[in-house]
Amino acid sequence: MATYETSRTAPLGAITVFRLVQSVGTVAATFQAWNSARVTRKALSRLSNRELDDIGLCRGDIDQIGR
């Protein structure tokens, strides 16, 4: 049975472009996680103390939940 080697070197700059695209994706994911935590903290901050108590939280827990 014969095998065929298909590995080739990447064209000039391909690895750099790949790393750039990968880092842009990482930045976008980081921003998305930060924004989601911000929205959660904002929504929880709008609740009254009684509403927070109903779901088992206090004001001091809001920052920890957003993380």
Whether 7 maps to a domain, the answer reads: no
| 36 is a domain residue | yes
Q: How many domains does the chain have?
A: 1
Q: What is the pTM of this model?
A: 0.68
Contact 40, 65 (CB under 8 A): yes
Can you tell me the distance from the alpha carbon of 45 to that of 63, in angstroms, rounded to the nearest whole number? 10
Q: Judge contact between 44 and 52, C-beta under 8 A.
A: yes
- Domain range for 35: 26-66
pLDDT (tens digit per residue) in 6-31: 777 777 788 899 999 999 999 999 99
Is the residue at 21 inside a domain?
A: no
Position 15 in a domain: no
- pLDDT 10s digits, 24-67: 999 999 999 999 999 999 999 999 999 999 999 999 999 888 67
